[in-house]
Structure 1
Amino acid sequence: MDSTDGKENGGPEGYQLNEIMSGISNILNTLANFMLRLDSQGRQMDELAKEVQGRDGIQERLELVQEQANDTVYSVTEINNSQEIMSREISRLKDYVIKLEFRVNVQEKQILELDLGVEEVDSFHILNLFRLGEKDPTHKRKYPRPICIQFGYKTHKDKVMSRVRVLKEKKSHIRLAVQQPEEIRKKRKRMYDIQKKYSAKNVETKIKGDKLIFTKSGNVYRDKTGTRPTAEEVISGDQVKITVNKGKHIEDNQNRFESHATSVNSYKQVKESLIEILRLPTVSSASHNVYAYRFAGSDGMVHEGSEDDGEHGAGRTLLSAMNDNGIQNALIVVSRWFGNKIGMRRFTHIVDAGLSAGKNTNPS
């Protein structure tokens, strides 16, 4: 009976077994919790490792970002430079178009003033009539002195000139020639001045039309500065790189005169400097850009030249003023924006403005 009661109640052995099982269960729970903690710490270690690895790659990423930033700054700088160049080109193109428009308007006016018909006239209105040249007391002149006739009306002159063909057919000794355009006459006058210089060096030349020809070689004289700058040369977006002195600003009857000057010492420098001055704001828009230059060459001679740019006689007048005032090794450009007619005063203003810029130029 005692043994039965011991088995039912578990007795000491049953109690100890329960304690052992409970202890094992606790240990397993503890181990499970510990494993969970290890797993959690493992994940934390992985994240930490990734973070550390990420920190190790920060320098490379920063370098990449810096490189991209540098590329972006370079691109922005290039865009800004391109915009500045384009802005200069557009501004110079605008100036050039303004001048072209002025030239076109002048030519259209000249075309409208042309009288293409020759009216029948009963009598001629002559304003002036005189012989050219001096008398030859020795009477050795091969041909008689030509007679210059100034008609009162263009139709009268055209009527006379229409008979030139008849005179030639009848082999008449009378020869008729129409007065040359002002531009050609000015160019021939300049050729005569150049011819005198070559004559002083015992170099034989002759003038044919508006050209100076060297007698021995047959070569045609060409200005060493070449032709006037082209639109492509002037409109270029390059910055002006030379030092330019600005002279007086003069206004008269809605005409504006401005002047610029710079130092030169060769034909090449004259041409390059002229392009640079024409690139200055608004200069190319002027109705006329008259210029003159003088410089002492390596041969000891003074080289000089001028250009009217449609303002007939202005270039030679400016060059003469430079000579009279001892201005040398300089290029002077005088710009005129046409307003209304002011007669001979325009030459006074051109000289006044030009000298004010030329005297401030330091010879090189």
Structure 2
Amino acid sequence: MDRQMTVLDDGITDLRSRSMRDNILIHNYPHTPDENLAVTMPKVFRETLGIDVDFIRIHRNGQPPSIVATKNKTYDKFNSLRRQNISARLHRDHILLGDGSTYKEEVPIITNADALQITPEQTQDLDSFEVKSTDPVVKDGSEFSAIGAIVHTVEDVQNMYRKVCIDPYAAAANSRILVYRFRREDGKIVENYHDDDEHGAGRRLLRYMQENEIHNSAFVVTRWMGDGHIGPQRFTIMESLINDLANDLGSD
């Protein structure tokens, strides 16, 4: 009973956290007449934090007026589908496919509460799934490492992701950033990411895979937060880990 209550509590906390991590509150940004926040705020993020970010919705709210911005992972997936001539259109905050169905994540994010629901039998089945990992990299108190595998199907990605999430070492990380990209038998590319509170990381790593033509691979980059602020350097570290693993795996 105690275990079930803990799982339920974790699930409620996770739902609240997802709502918070899908939105950004920006305080004390000067108001100007006829401002266009959809243009100015991505520029501010790029110049101050070194990350590229777009928003589904962005507006001011309250007194004094703060900026509320909804992050734009939906557009990333929509654009990926359109680049491959897959019929899709945006409807509010979700994607409608050509057959009228709503697009759903191929690989849903796995929380610690979700990982606790993986049965011993399922865990045993994952033992035979081969993954490789990097040595940890430490920068100003933060520790990064990466786990990767060759994948050819959504099930392969799910198995790799589950195997990482049930590992006690990875489960203790502050973030487990998933990024994957593989080519189906019909030639279509399946690609996506989960930031897991490391805003901008999944998009950055997927773009790295695209630009370097890394296919048929899935990676989870783990980060343990330190006291120091390392800014955009964290992305360079993550990309280096992905590069090392891709070479080690012999990714296409």
Fold shared by both chains (TM-score > 0.5): yes
Give the distance between the partners of 1:149 and 1:269, measured in 2 at CA: 40
Whether the aligned pair in 2 keeps the contact of 1:290 and 1:307 (CA below 8 Å) is yes
Specify the code of the residue in structure 2 equivalent to 1:179.
V
1:307 maps to which residue? 194
CA offsets 1:260-280 (integer angstroms, 9 cap, x no match): 111110011110111112233
Deviation at 1:301, TM superposition (A): 2.1
Deviation at 1:322, TM superposition (A): 1.5
Give the distance between the partners of 1:362 and 1:356, measured in 2 at CA: 10
1:117 maps to which residue? none
TM-score where L is the length of structure 2: 0.69
The correspondence of residues 168-187 of structure 1 with structure 2, limited to 5 A, is: 179-180=68-69, 184-187=70-73
Whether the aligned pair in 2 keeps the contact of 1:206 and 1:213 (CA below 8 Å) is yes
1:316 aligns with 2:200: no
Flag the 1:125–1:302 CA change in 2: closer, same or farther, 3 A.
Answer: closer
2:95 maps to which residue? 212
SS of corresponding position for 2:68: coil
| Higher strand residue share | 2
SS of corresponding position for 1:190: helix
1:360 aligns with 2:242: no
Specify the code of the residue in structure 2 equivalent to 1:131.
N
Larger radius of gyration: 1
1:254 maps to which residue? 141
2:107 maps to which residue? 225
The correspondence of residues 322-341 of structure 1 with structure 2, limited to 5 A, is: 322-340=209-227, 341=229
2:44 maps to which residue? none
Give the distance between the partners of 1:133 and 1:286, measured in 2 at CA: 33
Flag the 1:350–1:127 CA change in 2: closer, same or farther, 3 A.
Answer: farther
The correspondence of residues 41-52 of structure 1 with structure 2, limited to 5 A, is: none
Give the distance between the partners of 1:329 and 1:195, measured in 2 at CA: 17
Flag the 1:220–1:242 CA change in 2: closer, same or farther, 3 A.
Answer: same
Give the distance between the partners of 1:276 and 1:133, measured in 2 at CA: 39
2:30 maps to which of 126, 129, 138: 126
Could you tell me which runs of 5 or more consecutive residues in structure 2 were left unpaired when the two chains were aligned. 21-27, 40-57
Identity %: 20
Q: Matched residue pairs, number? A: 209
SS of corresponding position for 1:336: strand
Specify the code of the residue in structure 1 equivalent to 2:92.
K
1:278 aligns with 2:182: no
SS of corresponding position for 1:312: coil
Give the distance between the partners of 1:328 and 1:313, measured in 2 at CA: 21
The correspondence of residues 98-113 of structure 1 with structure 2, limited to 5 A, is: none
Give the distance between the partners of 2:29 and 2:203, measured in 1 at CA: 34
Give the distance between the partners of 1:355 and 1:292, measured in 2 at CA: 13
| Higher helix residue share | 1
Flag the 1:325–1:248 CA change in 2: closer, same or farther, 3 A.
Answer: farther
Deviation at 1:132, TM superposition (A): 6.3
1:190 aligns with 2:76: yes
Deviation at 1:326, TM superposition (A): 2.4
Structure of higher RCO (CA pairs closer than 8 Å, 6+ residues apart): 2
SS of corresponding position for 2:248: coil
TM-score where L is the length of structure 1: 0.49
Give the distance between the partners of 2:149 and 2:29, measured in 1 at CA: 51
Give the distance between the partners of 1:235 and 1:245, measured in 2 at CA: 23
SS of corresponding position for 2:134: strand
CA offsets 1:312-338 (integer angstroms, 9 cap, x no match): 111111111122222211111100001
SS of corresponding position for 2:181: strand
RMSD: 3.5
Could you tell me which runs of 5 or more consecutive residues in structure 1 were left unpaired when the two chains were aligned. 1-92, 111-123, 135-147, 159-177
CA offsets 1:270-299 (integer angstroms, 9 cap, x no match): 101111122334011110000111112110
Give the distance between the partners of 2:76 and 2:224, measured in 1 at CA: 25
